[in-house]
Amino acid sequence: MERVLTISKKNPRKKARKAAVRTAQYTSLSVLVFIVLLPVMILALKAFMTRDESIDVPIVIFPSRVSFDGLIAAFDGGFLNELKNTLIVARVNCIAIPLSASLCAYGFTRCKFIGRDIWFAVTLATIMLPGIVVQIPVFVMFVSFGWLNTFYPLIVPSFLGGGAVNIFLIRQFIKGVPKEIREAAKIDGANEFYIYLIMTMPLCLPVLLLITVNTFIGCWNDFMGPLLYLRQAKVYTLGIGIYHRFPPATNQQITYPNEQMAACLLMLIPPAVLFFIFQRQLIEGVALNVVKG
């Protein structure tokens, strides 16, 4: 009887301790989320200010009235043309990168050839190579091809392997696909490409979706590539187009923060919407790759 009473006395203490720990966890996480989202909140508030209010000193955080002048200015000029160019580059890359990466990954996983493991190790070693190291020779090569002011430098490399990280992710996923499927298809007379495209790739949809969404976000936010290769306004993508249309303020030219923030807000919306739509699939793709790895 005394033992039951002591257990019942300890339970409220344990519950109170767990509640305190959970409250502290949620409080700290809420503070971190607020710190992370604070720049986005300021961006959104500035986007709906008037021109004069956006340059007031001291800085104004909350607009006195909602103004759409910044959004109108962001849409003026070549926004629609830049949006079209960005979607062209993103669409081609979203097809080419998963396709080429999956082909390489299937070859490294299912096809036997001399030096397969060595070539795969060399491919993975390229992850350690900083992109800026090869930027100059790649730039010289593309200029010699006459590809300046074209989309070729932003598109063609995506057909050449799709990136070592993507190859690794898909390879790890394919390794989890039972080999008996391929053997049964071989017995039925299926060729290697049919097994890859019809029987293996549908089973790899989670990781392919992960790579496709990451590719779209990367192309959408890309700034360095267009800055190097696109020199004419008619081929600008959104990143470089907004940079040229809303440059930093100088003594000769005033750039209003509400217009800059409105343009950034317009660029922020599509990736955010895409992430929220495919959030569950993206998390599942990452989790499955961790388990299979």
Same domain, 31 and 135: no
Span 227-277, pLDDT tens digits: 999 989 899 999 898 888 877 666 566 778 888 888 888 888 888 888 888
Same domain, 99 and 147: yes
H helices within 126-249, ranges in order? 135-144, 152-155, 164-175, 179-187, 192-194, 205-221, 224-229, 238-245
Same domain, 50 and 138: no
What is the model's pLDDT at position 286?
63
Same domain, 26 and 132: no
| pLDDT at 5 exceeding the cut of 50 | no
Give the number of domains in the chain: 2
The mean pLDDT of 79-85, rounded to a whole number, is: 90
Which residue type is seen at 265? Answer: L
Same domain, 28 and 160: no
The mean pLDDT of 161-171, rounded to a whole number, is: 89
Q: Is residue 262 a part of any domain in this protein?
A: no
Same domain, 119 and 185: yes
272 in Cβ contact with 213 (< 8 Å):
no
| pLDDT at 158 exceeding the cut of 60 | yes
Same domain, 106 and 227: yes
Q: Is residue 214 a part of any domain in this protein?
A: yes
The Cα-based distances of 248 to 75, 123, 254 in angstroms read 18, 40, 8
Domain of residue 112, CATH code: 1.10.3720.10
Same domain, 164 and 127: yes
Percentage of the chain lying above the pLDDT 70 cut? 91
What is the model's pLDDT at position 290?
53
What is the model's pLDDT at position 84?
92
Same domain, 223 and 117: yes
What's the farthest any 2 CA atoms get from each other in the chain?
A: 90
pTM score? 0.83
Q: Is residue 290 a part of any domain in this protein?
A: no
> Across all residues in the chain, what is the average pLDDT?
84
Range of the domain at 222: 78-245
Q: Is residue 173 a part of any domain in this protein?
A: yes
Same domain, 82 and 203: yes
Same domain, 160 and 238: yes
Same domain, 96 and 186: yes
What is the model's pLDDT at position 54?
77
